[in-house]
Structure 1
Amino acid sequence: MTATEPATEPAAAPAAVPTPARGRLARLLPEDRVLRRLTWITLVNTVGNGLGMTLAAVYFHRILGFGVGTVGAVLTVAGACGVAAGVPAGRLADRYGCKPVMMALLAVQAVCAAGYVLVGSLASFVVLACLVAIADRGASAARAALFAEVLAPDARVRGRAYLRSVTNIGISLGTVGAAAVLQSDSRGAYTLALLADAASYGLVAVLYWLLVPVPARTAAQIEQASSGPNPALRDRVYLAATGLNAVVCLQFMMIEVGLPLWVVEHTDAPRWMAAGGMLVNTALVIVLQVRATRGTEEPAAAARVFRRGALLVAASCLVVALAADAPAWVAAVVIAAGVALQALGEVYSQAGAWALGYDLAKDGAHGAYQGVFNTGMSASMMLGPVLLTSVVLANGLLGWALLAAAFAAAGWGMTALVRR
């Protein structure tokens, strides 16, 4: 360069394009597009569930006029039908695809939920209740298999944890709506609420169809997944894991059935603690469930997380038992501490169970395996109320100690099983 030539200025770096700030709502949603869509679908579904499940039993009794014992017997029979639906629904999901099977079952739920407003006899009540239970448990198995297909393997457990937090939010919102219906206590209000629940199932089916892409499978993959005997029923390790998880799933009936009855009948704690326990549980699960999935990447680690949860639930049983014969304020504090321990145990045990439910399954047959795993949970929820009322509550402190021992044994048993 000569003295007469002007100095060349270095080229200016291109201006950085500012990244648009995510709004407050957007920051709460997952960045994964599929999981974000599943979030909104889950919210719609569970708001409807919270509305329907809160009102159904009261509607059958107060509006349709069936006795409390009759309602309980019908729902027990329906629960048994639901238990039987998980395994065949999982196999159908492997054969025809998770999304078509789940959409068909959602359509059945929509029609049957709407049919409740037309019930005029005990026979029609029984048929509709059984169909709803079959479709519900079958759809649950197909949905779990769908998550295995549309979420990356390393994101399945965290994704399910996130959706479970959303589930608790949705059910809480639905329950608030149900409270307004219960306060009105009119046939028109119940009818409108049940029809809204039915419409939510139909809307969810459409949303799955439009918004959730499922990877295409070859004819060879379909044939391999659906031919021959059910592989999950021949997998002894998986069946044992399913049974151990079913034992720990008794905690759901403990918090929904056992704790309210214990508070009201066996302690001097304020009666509102029976409902307060559920609210505390729901809030803690919403906040903690995603965090509890950390460290579940490998089966051995997931088993340890499951054991931690089982032991915390066992401890909650012993704490809750101490509320008997305590002064009212002491009993309230003890119940609150027990509920907090149970919620911590719940998020850990569920995180570990989800990871093991996927990790111990054979690739290409997630429908069959999730059908078996969900059947174990369904059986636990069906038998739980009977076990809690006839064994735990009937024997007081000894009953709670036996339940705690069962939880602890299942937790240690899972780690021993996976270690093998």
Structure 2
Amino acid sequence: MSFSTGVRRLIGATLVNTLGNGVYAAVGALYLTRVAGLSVAQVGAGLTVAALAGLVTSTPLGVVADRLGPNRAYAGFLLLNAVTMALLTQIHSFVPFVLLAAVTSMAGSGQRGATGALVAGLAPAADRVRTRAIMRVATNIGMGVGLALAGVVLAVDRREFYVLALLVNAATYLVTAAVIRYGLPAVPPVPRASGPSALTALRDRTFLGFVALDGVLSMHAALAQIGIPLWVATATDAPRWVVSVLLVLNSVAVILLQLRVTRGTDTLSGAARAGRRAGLLLAITCGVLAVTDATSGPVTIALLVVAALVHVVGEMLQSAGGWGVSFELSPAGAQGQYQGAYAMSRQLGDLTGPVLLTSVAVAWGWPGWLLTGAVFLTAGLLIPAVVNQRATVAMQLQT
């Protein structure tokens, strides 16, 4: 498929921005504890507060994207993140860190809603999901390069290099903001009088039902980053380097296959089926991990690789299905607020996933994995019913 110049530039801007994010992802926690002087508990508490702030403001900031236009709103949120990242180099106590982290999280939430609205405005309806897929591939590439570059900072392990890494991330926000604001065709704002009322998405119960179910499936991120690594390290005899292999396998698979997996998810029915299949595959992943509770040696390693492969296909299906449903169910003039509401699904997964996976799956062993798998399966099976209900209501309103 061929992309318009605007979409290609958006993809390039995503690559630049996520390169900086990758650098920060690798060094951020160490900077906060080793340089800023915060304790691990303070960092965890601050990030939890920040996540909640981002969650509750996600939809209202999506309304801002509709009213200002996604280009202006997205660029503004990026500039705000550039400022907060630069200010982070001056943080040395808990309360300022919490405030700064909360503003950073809210700006990130605003970006997600504006990004969805921008894609909806720049790409034809049939190409929106594929555009998001290419952007996700660019994200994985950018993050991978950023993580590799951060290795230099971690190897030197000096304060000035950590500070430089944060400033590099701030600079990528500035570059991305310039491209979004001045390098892309302008998607016009929706005047208050001509668009749906503010926060219509939060009164759309069936859409919020989909968001909640998709949030359950979004726990796949915590499964890959927290659940599987902890399980490998604490409950299996597999060497710990296997964790790195599994994470690399995940990134490579997304880069190579995400676009292919999106085929058929540009329709509402296809997107709903993708959500159902994602729930099934994530449940199978948990089932395979449960088996490793009783295996050893090469068999365990082979099963972990199988689990990782099944997991990443489920992850890609969840992403594609979520994009398809969110675009198709967003009414004209409310792409920003509906995309902001949809973004809450990932935030819900990030908040609940670590708790479920650590306190149930990893702590209980194979019964915990089977219970976790049942949660994924149930969410996946319910998505088509909720989506179909929402589509039926929309058709009735149109007639």
- How far apart, in 2, do the equivalents of 1:215 and 1:72 lie? 38
Residues 158 and 290 in structure 1, CA contact (< 8 A), matched pair in contact too: yes
- How far apart, in 2, do the equivalents of 1:362 and 1:60 lie? 42
Larger radius of gyration between Structure 1 and Structure 2: 1
- Could you state the TM-score of these two structures normalised by the residue count of structure 2? 0.94
Deviation at 1:217, TM superposition (A): 4.9
Deviation at 1:229, TM superposition (A): 4.6
Runs of 4+ in 1 over 6 A off after TM superposition: none
- How far apart, in 1, do the equivalents of 2:3 and 2:172 lie? 25
- In the alignment, what sits opposite 1:224? 194
Residues 13 and 176 in structure 2, CA contact (< 8 A), matched pair in contact too: yes
Number of residue equivalences:
389
- How far apart, in 1, do the equivalents of 2:261 and 2:186 lie? 28
The one of 296, 299, 309 equivalent to 2:278 is: 309
- In the alignment, what sits opposite 2:380? 411
Distance change (3 Å), C-alpha of 1:321 and 1:164: same
Alignment gaps of 5+ in structure 2: 390-399
- How far apart, in 2, do the equivalents of 1:213 and 1:32 lie? 10
Residues 267 and 331 in structure 1, CA contact (< 8 A), matched pair in contact too: yes
Distance change (3 Å), C-alpha of 1:105 and 1:217: closer
- In the alignment, what sits opposite 1:329? 298
The one of 139, 148, 168 equivalent to 1:196 is: 168
Q: Structure 1 residue 371 and structure 2 residue 340: aligned?
A: yes
The one of 24, 29, 35 equivalent to 1:57 is: 29
The one of 51, 62, 68 equivalent to 1:96 is: 68
- How far apart, in 2, do the equivalents of 1:62 and 1:30 lie? 47
- Mean alpha-carbon deviation: is it higher for 395-404 or for 43-52? 395-404
What amino acid does structure 2 have at the position aligned with 1:81?
A
Q: Structure 1 residue 181 and structure 2 residue 158: aligned?
A: no
Alignment gaps of 5+ in structure 1: 1-28
Which structure 2 residues correspond to residues 133-148 of structure 1 after superposition, within 5 A? 133-148=105-120
Which structure 2 residues correspond to residues 20-419 of structure 1 after superposition, within 5 A? 30-217=2-189, 219=191, 222-225=192-195, 228-419=197-388
Residues 272 and 321 in structure 2, CA contact (< 8 A), matched pair in contact too: yes
Distance change (3 Å), C-alpha of 1:192 and 1:243: same
Identity of aligned residues (%): 37
Residues 30 and 36 in structure 1, CA contact (< 8 A), matched pair in contact too: no
- In the alignment, what sits opposite 2:396? none
Deviation at 1:368, TM superposition (A): 1.3
- How far apart, in 2, do the equivalents of 1:215 and 1:353 lie? 23
Q: Deviations over 1:281-316 (max 9, x none)?
A: 111011111011111232112211221122111111
Distance change (3 Å), C-alpha of 1:216 and 1:77: closer
Distance change (3 Å), C-alpha of 1:276 and 1:87: same
Q: Deviations over 1:236-263 (max 9, x none)?
A: 2211111111110011111011111111
Deviation at 1:218, TM superposition (A): 6.8
Q: Deviations over 1:325-358 (max 9, x none)?
A: 4223221111111000000111112111100011
- Could you state the TM-score of these two structures normalised by the residue count of structure 1? 0.89
What amino acid does structure 2 have at the position aligned with 1:350?
S
- Mean alpha-carbon deviation: is it higher for 104-113 or for 115-124? 115-124
Deviation at 1:111, TM superposition (A): 0.7
RMSD: 1.5
Residues 242 and 373 in structure 1, CA contact (< 8 A), matched pair in contact too: yes
